[in-house]
């Protein structure tokens, strides 16, 4: 894209989840302070609160139709996912103001979790066209876009069953509580088909980002700027094997661990197993169950990217990892 200044934007829309993380605790005060920062930088700002689950995408589409030339998603990964879905295939840039339980994209791009800091840094960001993912699940009944990752099996089971009141009280720790409560159980396995090969696993991560949940890097060699996924497949029915897997994640050494398969693909499919109901999640939100097909949608979204996450820097890091 060509020359870019923050003054380019004459109608900036902030779509925010009033119940998300710090926004829920501090009411509209943070939004008001962010608006003051943005207006001082030359934005004309309209604020649109979501009114419930699955409403942010419709708000984004409506505001684009009304002439919005920049949309900022204020909330967690779920809000960002919905906003991005409403903006797919448009030319309007998407910016991030992290405020939710988890902010994987903000962590991935080195924006961190500082809501007002992200508003102040918006003028440093540059628009970059990226691909996104699309999942079709529930035998074609559910089709959704995603920015970050899809998970099948173990983590999607945790997302589906996480205790909502507990999540409201302790945030993403609720996911760890739900995950570790499964220790000692047997997990259902399923098949993943990619590039003509079939693999069996109990957890499949299909990712466009390195960061996972804000805490770890699982897919270590992928970027938002790539036009394919990195797949990390965890094999085995016993959750006791995941203790060893988890230790590898903490040590940042999952490559070469027996039972973990890492590969690249642009399209992945997972048929429905005969003996179990296997859940699917995208960007930390439940997205139905198998069967599912997941594919790359190239050139689908314009994302505002901070300077330290430029494509050329990502390429340099990838080359260093390969040396």
pLDDT truncated to tens, each residue of the chain (323 aa)?
333 444 467 899 999 988 876 676 665 788 999 999 999 999 999 999 999 889 999 999 999 999 999 999 998 888 999 999 999 999 999 999 998 777 899 999 988 889 999 999 999 999 999 999 999 998 888 899 999 999 999 999 888 877 566 565 656 666 666 666 677 688 999 999 998 999 999 999 999 999 987 778 899 999 999 999 999 999 999 988 988 998 998 888 898 899 999 999 999 999 999 888 999 999 989 999 999 999 999 999 999 999 988 765 555 555 555 55
Asked if residues 245 and 234 have their Cβ atoms less than 8 Å apart, the reply is yes
Q: What share of the chain is helix, strand, coil (3-state, %, to 5)?
A: 35, 30, 35
Q: HSE, CB side, 13 Å, CA atoms: give it for residue 9.
A: 32
Go through the chain and tell me how many residues it has: 323
In what side-by-side order are the strands of the sheet with 285-289?
260-265, 229-234, 203-207, 149-153, 279-282, 285-289
Residue 28's SS3 state is coil
Residue among 85, 134, 151 at smallest CA distance from 295: 134
Query: Residue 45 corresponds to which tokens in the numbers above?
Result: 């700002």
Q: What distance in Å separates the CA atoms of residue 311 and residue 104, rounded to the nearest whole number?
A: 18
Return the DSSP state at 1.
Answer: -
Q: Cβ(153)–Cβ(242) under 8 Å?
A: no
Best CA proximity match to 212, nearest among 241, 186, 245, 235: 245
Q: What are phi and psi of 9, to 5 degrees?
A: -90, 115
Tokens standing for 167?
A: 């999540």
At the second CATH level, the architecture of 6-124 is: 3-Layer(aba) Sandwich (3.40)
**What are the pLDDT digits (tens) for 28-56?**
788 999 999 999 999 999 999 999 889 99
Separation CA 258–CA 177 (nearest Å)? 26
Which pair of structure tokens corresponds to residue 307?
């300077």
pLDDT at residue number 113: 86
Pair of tokens at residue 240? 């006791």
Q: What is the pTM of this model?
A: 0.88
**Counting beta carbons within 10 angstroms of the beta carbon of residue 221, is it exposed (0 to 12), middle (13 to 18) or buried (19 or more)?**
middle
Distance of CA 88 to the CA centre of its chain: 14
Q: Which of 187, 215, 192 is nearest to 205 (CA)?
A: 192
Exposed / middle / buried, residue 33 (Cβ in 10 Å: 0-12, 13-18, 19+): middle
Query: In this predicted structure, what is the pLDDT of residue 172?
Result: 64
Tokens of 68: 């919005």
Architecture of the domain defined by 133-298 = Sandwich (2.60)
Return the pLDDT at 187: 92
All residues at 6 or more sequence positions from 162 whose CB lies less than 8 Å from its CB, including other chains: 174, 175, 178
Backbone angles phi, psi at 16, to 5 degrees: -135, 150
* 253-288 residues labelled b (16+ CB within 10 A) or e (exposed): ebeebebbbbbebbebbbebeeeeebbbbbbbbbbb
Specify the residue for token string 């505002």: 304
CB 104: neighbour CB atoms within 10 A? Answer: 25
């Amino acid at each position: 894209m060509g020359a870019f200044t923050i003054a380019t934007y004459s109608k900036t829309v902030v779509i925010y989840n009033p119940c998300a993380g710090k926004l829920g605790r501090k009411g509209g005060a943070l939004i008001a302070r962010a608006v003051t920062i943005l207006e001082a930088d030359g934005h004309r700002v309209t604020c649109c609160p979501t009114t419930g689950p699955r409403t942010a995408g419709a708000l984004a589409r409506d505001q684009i139709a009304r002439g919005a030339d920049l949309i900022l998603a204020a909330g967690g990964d779920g809000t960002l996912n919905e906003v991005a879905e409403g903006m797919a295939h448009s030319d309007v840039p998407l910016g991030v103001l992290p405020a939710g339980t988890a902010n994987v994209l903000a962590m991935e791009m080195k924006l961190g979790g500082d809501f007002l800091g992200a508003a102040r840094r918006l003028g440093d960001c540059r628009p970059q066209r990226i691909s996104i993912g699309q999942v079709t699940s529930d035998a074609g009944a559910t089709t959704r876009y995603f920015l970050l990752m899809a998970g099948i099996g173990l983590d999607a089971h945790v997302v589906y069953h996480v205790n909502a009141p507990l999540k409201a009280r302790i945030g993403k720790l609720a996911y760890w509580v739900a995950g570790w409560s499964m220790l000692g159980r047997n997990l259902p396995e399923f098949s993943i088909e990619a590039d003509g090969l079939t693999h069996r696993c109990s957890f499949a991560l299909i990712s466009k980002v390195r960061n996972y949940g804000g805490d770890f890097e699982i897919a270590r060699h992928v970027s938002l700027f790539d036009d394919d996924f990195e797949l990390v497949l965890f094999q085995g029915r016993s959750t006791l094997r995941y203790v060893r897997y988890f230790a590898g994640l903490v040590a940042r050494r999952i490559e070469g661990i027996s039972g973990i398969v890492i590969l690249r693909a642009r399209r992945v499919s997972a048929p429905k197993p005969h003996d179990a109901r296997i859940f699917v999640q995208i960007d930390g939100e439940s997205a139905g169950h198998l069967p599912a097909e997941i594919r790359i949608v190239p050139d689908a979204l314009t994302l505002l990217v901070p300077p330290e996450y430029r494509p050329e820097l990502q390429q340099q890091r990838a080359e260093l990892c390969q040396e």
